[in-house]
Chains A and B, each alone.
Chain A
C-alpha cells in the first residue's frame, strides 16, 4: 500500500489536478480556479512534513518516487509555489481555459520535478512540463507564436530525448536516484548534460528562450520565465554541481547574453536574453562547486524568479495597456504608468545586484564560490555580466521606456509598434482599447515587488533556509565595491545615450542557422527531390498502381480475375506499400548492422 493522502496532498499533484478541473469546468470558473489551485498547492507545501517520503507503484517493479525533500528542493518548491500564486493572480483578467489549464499542469510538473526522488519520476514530469509549455507558446501571439512553438517543440523534444537516453545508459537506469553524475568518460554523462543544457539555455541551445518567450502571452511568459530554466538549474545542481570546466563556459555565456540584451529592441525579448544571462550566472556558481555555489545558484534562481517576474509583468502591462512591444515605440511611460514604472525600477536594481536589493545577496554567494574556486577569469566575466545587466536593464529600460520622451506621440489607444521584419498581426489584448492595466495585474506585480524588497533588505531569511552565513554580506568594502562599479558603468551610458538607443529590425543569434541557412537548405533539398520524382513520375505511378491493384484483388496476380477498383485507391495503397517496404529495409539493415 502507498500513502494516498501523501500523493493527493503533494503540492505538484494539487496543481495538476487543478489544471484538469480547469480544463473541464466552464471558462468563467477558470479565472478563480487557477489562483485557488495555486494557493492550495502553497498551503499543501507549507503543511508537508519535510521528512516525508512518498512512493507509488508505476509498472512492474518500477516505482514513482514523488516526494523526497532536502533544503535545496524545499527552497525551489517554495519559490515555485509562491510565483504560482502570483502568476495565477496576474492572469485572473483572462478567461482562457486551455492556457490556464496548461499553466497549472506546467507549474505542478515543475514542483513534481524538484521533489522527484528517482530518475523515472524526474523524466516523466520533465516531459510533462515541456508539453504544457509548448501548448502555452502555441496559444500566444498569432502566427508568429505557432511557428515559434514548432521550433520550441523541436528543441525540447531533442533535449528530452537526450536526457532520457542518458538516463537509460546510467548503470541503474531509470531507477537511479536523483543525484550527481560524475563519470565524464561515459556517454550517459554527456547525453544528460546536453538534455539539461537545452533547458538551461546553454549555448548553442539557448535561442529558444529569446525566440519563444516573447511570442507567448504575457501571462504565459511569466510562468515560463519562472519554471523551465529554473528547474534546469535545479537539475544542474543535482547532477553537475562542481563541474569545473563549465564555470568559464557559463561566464562567457552570461556576458554575451547580456550584450545581446543590450542591442535588443523587443522589450520582452530583451528580458528573455537576460534569463539566459542570469541562468548562466547560476550555472557558473553551481559549477564552481561547494555548498556555497549550490546555495548561491538556488538563491539566485529564487530571487530571479521574483525580480524577473516583476519585469516580465511590467512588460506585460505595457503590452496589455498600450499594445507596445518595441522600445523604439515607447518612452515617457513613467508618467502614464507610475505603478508599473516604480515596480520595474525596483526590480531593475535588484536584477543588477545593487546593494540592499535582492540580487546583491544571491550574487554575492555565486561570486564567493567562483572566487574560492580560483576561477579568476570567470570572476571578472561574471562581474562584467553584472555590469551588462546594469546597462541593459537598469539603464536602458528605465531610460528609454520610462523616462525619455518618446520620439513621436502615439495615437490614443494603441500602437502596434512592429519592427520592419515582424509585421505579422499578433493578438492584441482588448484592454488596449481601454488603455488600462487590469487591477489583478497591478496587484500581482506589486506583491512580487514587495517580496523583492523584503528579500533585499532581509536576505538572511533565505540565507537561513539554505544554512548560509550572511554576516559579511553588507560589509562596507563589499557594498562600496558594487556602488563604485555601477556608478562607473553609468558614465559611458550617459555619455553615449544617443548611441545606446535601440533600433528597429531583428537580431539573429545562433538561430540564424536554422531560421535562414537550414530553412533555405530544406527548400533546396525539397526542389531536388521534387525534380527527381517528377522525372520518374510515370515509372513510380505505374508501379504504385500495379502493386495496389494486386493487393486489392489478389486473384488478378494469378490471372484468375480482373479488378475494377478505382485507380486512385490502388495508387494510394501502392504508395503505402512502397513506404512500408522502405521502412522495413531500413529496419532490417539497422538490425543487421547492430548484430
Chain B
C-alpha cells in the first residue's frame, strides 16, 4: 500500500512539474530564433547570443572563425593539444 501511495505521489509530482516546466515556464522563458528575428531583428539576436553587433559582424568575416565554422577544415586547425587513448567514438 505504501509503495502504491508513493507511486501515486510520484505521478502527481511529475505531472505538476511537467506542467510548470513545459507549459508555464516554456511559454515565458523559451524563445526560438525566428520569433526574435521577426520581433527584434539582428541587434537583439546578437545581444541574446552574448555578443555585440560589431563582434557578430567582424567575427563572421574573420579567417579564424571561418575555419571553425567550416567543419571540413577542423582537422586542419589545432586549438588544443591532443593525447591518444581513451574512448573511441
Contacts and interface: CB of A to CB of B under 8 A. Distances in A.
A427 B84 CA distance: 20
A22 B41 CA distance: 45
Contacts of B50: 143-144, 147-148, 215, 422, 424, 515
Interface of A: 31, 92-96, 142-144, 147-148, 215, 255-256, 258-260, 262-263, 317, 321-323, 336-340, 383-384, 387-388, 390-391, 411, 413-416, 419-442, 477, 480-493, 496, 499-500, 503-509, 512, 515-516, 519-520
B9 A488 contact: yes
Given A503-B30, A515-B47, 7 more contacts: A93-B82, A262-B17, A387-B14, A391-B14, A492-B15, A506-B49, A515-B48
Do most interface residues of chain A lie in helix, strand or loop, or is the interface mixed?
A: helix
Given A93-B82, A438-B83, A489-B11, A484 B33 contact: no
Contacts of A144: 49-51
Given A259-B20, A508-B29, A436 B74 contact: no
Contacts of B21: 258-260, 262-263, 388
A426 B79 CA distance: 11
Question: Which 8 pairs between the two chains have the least Cβ-Cβ distance?
Answer: A488-B10, A420-B33, A484-B6, A439-B85, A262-B21, A489-B14, A259-B21, A505-B32
A155 to B, nearest CB: 14
Specify which of A317, A420, A421, A434 lies most central, judged by the most chain B CB atoms within 10 Å of its CB. A421
B17 A426 contact: no
A337 B77 CA distance: 24
A470 B68 CA distance: 53
Interface string B1-39: 011111111111111111011100110011111101100
Nearest to B15: A492
18 contacts: A94-B81, A144-B49, A259-B25, A263-B26, A387-B14, A413-B71, A413-B75, A421-B33, A422-B50, A425-B69, A428-B74, A430-B77, A436-B86, A439-B86, A480-B6, A487-B10, A505-B31, A508-B48
A415 B30 CA distance: 23
A340 B87 CA distance: 8
A483 B32 contact: no
Contacts of A487: 7, 10
A12 B26 CA distance: 43
B78 A430 contact: yes
Given A148-B50, A506-B31, A507-B29, A438 B86 contact: yes
Contacts of A441: 86
A503 B32 contact: yes
B39 to A, nearest CB: 11
A425 to B, nearest CB: 4
Given A430-B77, A436-B89, A442-B87, A499 B48 contact: no
Contacts of B88: 435-437
Contacts of B11: 488-489, 491-492
A391 B65 CA distance: 37
Contacts of B68: 142, 425-428
A488 B8 contact: yes
Contacts of A433: 74-75
A384 B71 contact: no
A34 to B, nearest CB: 14
A387 B6 CA distance: 12
Given A436-B86, A489-B10, A516 B48 contact: yes
Contacts of B12: 488
A92 B22 contact: no
A439 B84 CA distance: 7
A504 B9 CA distance: 32
A323 B78 CA distance: 14
Interface in B37-69: 37, 44-45, 47-52, 55-56, 59, 65, 68-69
A143 B55 contact: yes
Contacts of B48: 421, 506, 508, 515-516
A215 B20 CA distance: 27
A92 B77 CA distance: 20
Nearest to B8: A488
Given A428-B68, A436-B89, A505-B30, A260 B80 contact: no
Contacts of B65: 425
A144 B56 CA distance: 10
Contacts of A383: 9, 13
B14 A493 contact: yes
B6 A485 contact: yes
Nearest to B66: A425
A434 B82 contact: yes
Nearest to B29: A507
A485 B9 contact: yes
A338 B9 CA distance: 34
A579 B25 CA distance: 46
B51 A438 contact: no
A424 to B, nearest CB: 5
A534 to B, nearest CB: 21
Contacts of B29: 260, 263, 507-509, 512
Contacts of A428: 68, 74, 77, 79
Nearest to B27: A263
Contact of B33 (A486, A499, A505): A505
Residue of A263, A419, A441, A500 with most chain B CB atoms under a 10 A cut-off: A263
A435 B74 CA distance: 11
B22 A438 contact: no
A400 to B, nearest CB: 14
Contacts of A262: 17-18, 21-22, 25
A258 B17 CA distance: 9
The listed residue with most B CB atoms (<10 A of its CB), out of A391, A430, A512, is A430
Interface centre among A31, A143, A419 (most CB of B within 10 A): A143
B80 A430 contact: yes
